[in-house]
Amino acid sequence: MPLHPVVQKMLDGMKASGWKGIAQTTPAEARAFMAARTAVFGDGPEVGKVETVEIPTRDGKIRGRVLLPKTAPVALIVFYHGGGWVIGGIDESDIIARFLVHETGAGVVLVDYRLAPEHPFPAPIDDCYDALLWSAKEAANHNVPIVVAGDSAGGNLATICAMLARDQSGPKIALQILIYPVCDCDMETDSYRAFGAGYVLTAADMGWFYDHYLQGDKQKRAHPLVSPLRARVLKDLPPALIMTAEYDVLRDEAETYGKRLAAAGVKVWIKRYRSVTHGFLRMQNLIDIACNAMTDIADIMAATVGKKS
């Protein structure tokens, strides 16, 4: 399908602005650009309660944001933001969190994990797993199941946390929601060849992200805690919803990861959204496809952890 006209308009606007692409910037410039674009997507709906918290980790405290519905939550979603482990934050993901609360009836914990290159691999993973442990206690206080979720690099961190929880006898996770996740370092897939330039996230951008996250060590790209598709054992992981975008370099690796999970006996839903690019879920106020994707999340949440009250 052709690109959605709103998506095409946004791409055209980025080109007209003179934006040179993430791979041609410094981390500080890329962070500023992403933060500035947050206003484009508008605000999410009101929720029952929003609280800024400090989450204890093995290396100190990180910031978090807890959003709760107006009624008792049906689950607690630990959400890890995207941005290639280098950019982004909880403010940029606030719109997704608010729609998740509104549509699913769950609470959401947004995790402000440390970013590379200042804090390279495995620091973001350590923060995210420690935040999962803290969130599991919060979920127990509400007597609700826990879900891990994330978009892009956040989806990568979510499924890695699910693996760590399995291997370290950690919290029982009811569901993984993996939104156009980074799953493998192979940049020679069909989707990379087709959409590697000019569609929000480029092949050059991904190389830039990997280099900052791994301090230029290309061998580490194949580590299973970086490329979960390369993990030897995928059985006994939580059910997974894997959401991909038609015009996204990460599409094929994410769908292959879903197929490998299914082959390992994991319950999997793989959903590809046509005519959109990487990052489309933040466009709740702009395109119907993003709204449909949020409805899909709510439906699968209802099937796995319970319906919104």
Please state, as a whole number, how many other Cβ atoms lie within 10 Å of the Cβ of residue 15.
11
Asked, as a colleague might, if the bond just before 228 is cis with ω within 30 of 0, I would say no
* H or E, element range at 275: strand 268-277
Please state, as a whole number, how many other Cβ atoms lie within 10 Å of the Cβ of residue 5.
10
What number of H helices and E strands is found in the chain? Answer: 9, 8
Alpha helices in 169-304 (DSSP H): 190-195, 203-213, 251-263, 288-304
Helix 90-104 to helix 288-304 angle (10° resolution) is: 60
Write out the two tokens for 290.
Answer: 């993003």
- Find the length of the chain: 309
Q: Taking CA 86 as the corner, what is the angle to CA 295 and CA 121, rounded to the nearest 5 degrees?
A: 105
Catalytic residues: 152, 248, 278
Say which residue the tokens 């630990």 belong to.
78
Helix 27-37 to helix 90-104 angle (10° resolution) is: 40
